[in-house]
């Protein structure tokens, strides 16, 4: 049995921060500049909403980024595209692939694992069952790994897009498909919904150690303050003498119970599509 080679690169501990510093050394990822026509400005929000209040804590700073316009819809059917390069995207955990279609148009797509430069991908009902191709769920056999799944026909792919993730088709009934998601949840999709064949690239992402605090700051992540160390004005769990942490169950800054309380809205339209909840 062939031994799988890890792409996680470790360094000699010549400094304290280098001791735990790890990066993903992927030779397929190009160092070329991104395609200029597929870039958009990305304004920093610092975790604030439209009224200026912090709604997502511990965000701010970080390196300046530009947004890469990704084709999640894969609606250019029947036209083959050649993979020009696999590139790094600072806005997501997975790599992206730059495609050049035969009519000269360039687009980005999520790069599945196993896709490399020069490969050809195509979208449509008649596309062959190959990694990177997008097909309706009706044309994909049971047991095949898929990602970038449309929730409703004609929309962009919304589910299973993070690094190393994949879903699996369990069964089909009439115009419905049972799909097992990475969380273990089984959900119904229309057989007309499109999905991309294969697993999302960069599966080692979850194994990488940051190594130092400054590296998290470059990603726009600020330090976390423990709730029990705050004042009562700042958090329901704050205040008290010494290390007092009792008085109420663990909760969020807004008072939402943190451990075990179900937070999903039962009236949500897509709740009826869930066959089996995740554990």
- Please say whether the structural domain 8-206 has been given the CATH code 3.40.50.12280: no
Model pTM above 0.75: yes
Rounded Cα distance between 176 and 168, Å, is 14
Give residue-wise pLDDT tens across range 47-95.
999 999 999 999 999 999 999 999 999 999 999 999 999 999 999 999 9
Q: What value does the mean pLDDT of the chain take?
A: 92
User: In the beta sheet, which residues pair with residue 197?
Assistant: 146
Give rounded-to-5 percent helix, strand, coil for the chain. 10, 30, 60
Q: Please give the average per-residue pLDDT across 229-244, as a whole number.
A: 89
Greatest pairwise CA separation for the chain in angstroms: 70
Mean pLDDT value across residues 84-110: 96
Extents of the domains making up the chain: 8-206
Distance CA 185, CA 178 (A): 10
Euclidean distance between CA atoms 17 and 35, whole angstroms: 34
Would you state the pLDDT for residue 2?
A: 45
Q: In three state form, how does the secondary structure of 183-224 look?
A: CCCEEEEECCCEEEECCECCHHHHHCCCCCHHHHHHCCECCC
Residue 4: predicted pLDDT:
53
């Amino acid at each position: 049995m062939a031994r799988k080679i890890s792409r996680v690169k470790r360094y000699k501990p010549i400094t304290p921060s280098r001791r735990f510093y790890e990066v993903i050394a992927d030779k397929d990822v190009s160092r070329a500049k991104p395609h200029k026509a597929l870039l958009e400005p990305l304004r920093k929000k610092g975790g604030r909403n439209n009224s200026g209040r912090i709604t997502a804590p511990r965000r701010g700073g970080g390196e300046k980024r530009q947004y890469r316009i990704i084709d999640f819809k894969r609606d250019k059917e029947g036209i083959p595209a050649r993979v020009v390069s696999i590139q790094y995207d600072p806005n997501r955990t997975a790599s992206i692939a730059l495609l050049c279609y035969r009519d000269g148009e360039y687009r980005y797509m999520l790069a599945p694992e196993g896709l490399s430069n020069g490969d050809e991908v195509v979208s449509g009902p008649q596309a062959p069952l190959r990694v990177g191709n997008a097909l309706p769920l009706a044309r994909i056999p049971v047991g095949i790994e898929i990602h970038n799944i449309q929730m409703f026909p004609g929309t962009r792919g919304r589910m299973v897009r993070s690094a190393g993730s994949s879903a699996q088709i369990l069964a089909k009934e009439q115009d419905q498909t049972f799909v097992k998601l990475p969380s273990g949840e089984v959900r119904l999709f229309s057989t007309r919904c499109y999905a991309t064949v294969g697993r999302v690239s960069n599966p080692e992402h979850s194994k990488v150690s940051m190594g130092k605090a400054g590296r998290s700051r470059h990603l726009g992540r600020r330090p976390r303050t423990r709730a029990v160390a705050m004042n009562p004005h700042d958090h329901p769990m704050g205040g008290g003498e010494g290390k007092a942490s009792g008085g109420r169950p663990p909760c969020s800054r807004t008072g939402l119970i943190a451990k075990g309380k179900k937070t999903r809205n039962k009236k949500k339209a897509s709740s009826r599509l869930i066959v089996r909840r995740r554990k």
